[in-house]
Amino acid sequence: MTAVLRQAQGPAHTRIYAYGAARGENVVPNDDLVGPIDSSDEWIRQRTGIITRVRAAADTTAIELATAAAAEAVERSGVPASDIGAVIVATVTNPKQTPSVSAIVADRIGANPAAAYDVNAACAGFAYGVAQADALVRAGVVRHAVVVGAEKLSDIVDPTDRSISFLLGDGAGAVVIGPSDTPGIGPTVWGSDGSKSDAVGMNHTLVDFREGRAPWPTLRQEGPTVFRWAVWEMVKVARQALEAAGVEASDLAAFVPHQANMRIIDEFAKQLGLPDTVVIGRDIATTGNTSAASIPLATHRLLEEHPEVSGGLALQIGFGAGLVYGAQVIVLP
């Protein structure tokens, strides 16, 4: 007689229970950065909408930021840490490469022996993590999961680089995802275009640095290329996410794109035809671009400043290095 395998099956629906956040300790105004790039506060504000950004102290790593954000999300969710079955951390700034940030975070928040792994999808990393946590819960693999976007980008900044250095900040945002009686996370639209990977990414490898062939690797980008791709191609992805979720732009309570550039955010809203009733995440003005952390950080702040959107629909979309992207519609807790 042939044995029949048993497969796990979970709840039909999931939702986000709560958000947590941690920002770098130091507020860095534009005037502190303009010298090495021969620029001005006015130029940075006009080009990016950034007034200040937050950066972490020298002894604060992405691990500490991720732990603080995850701990807050778990506490606010009401889910015991011992009931967390998976911890997923989206980051490109793990200071150790290995072990994963997620394994350390799981231990520090009391979630042992949760499954734990990192996701390297740059600024789309949080959307990727939400997609995976949603699938893990609905498949019955875990009951609750923590997803964190965490970055200390100040570790990989060249202060003389005019293309990206003044954009970047440090922080972490986290959510707890678990079962729901009604749909709370829409289908994810995601993908990549590695053929344009040179448009934004690291300028050298760690091996080149070790062998003395190159200085410490830092982030670089081709600004115009990234801007055009983000505005024109990512708007298509955002529309696909709305369609996949079965909703219209007018149904949204909030729109939270990756906090790459205020001009991109404004053009996004224009291209999507968002009504004035939609609250738009604009955390970049005072936090800067925090890559994988930007969407949960912006949502955390948006919920604090606009509690009336709680329970409403939000469209979130991430896009970044490697030209990787991901978007989904969620119900705000």
Nearest to 91 by CA among 22, 3, 9, 39: 22
Neighbours of 242 (CB within 10 A): 22
How many whole angstroms from its chain centre is CA 221? 18
**Which H/E stretch holds residue 224?**
helix 223-228
Q: Which residues are catalytic?
A: 123, 258, 289
Which tokens hold the place of 57?
């102290």
Write the DSSP assignment of 258-315 as a string of letters. Answer: --S-HHHHHHHHHHHT--TTSEE--THHHH-B-GGGHHHHHHHHHHHH-GGGTTSEEE
Which residue type does 88 have?
I
Tell me which residue has tokens 């003044």: 166
Q: Label the pairing between strands 324-331 and 279-280.
A: unpaired
Three-state DSSP class for residue 124: helix
Cis peptide, bond prior to residue 99, ω within 30 of zero: yes
Site of tokens 């519609």: 329
The tokens of 296 are what? Answer: 């949960």
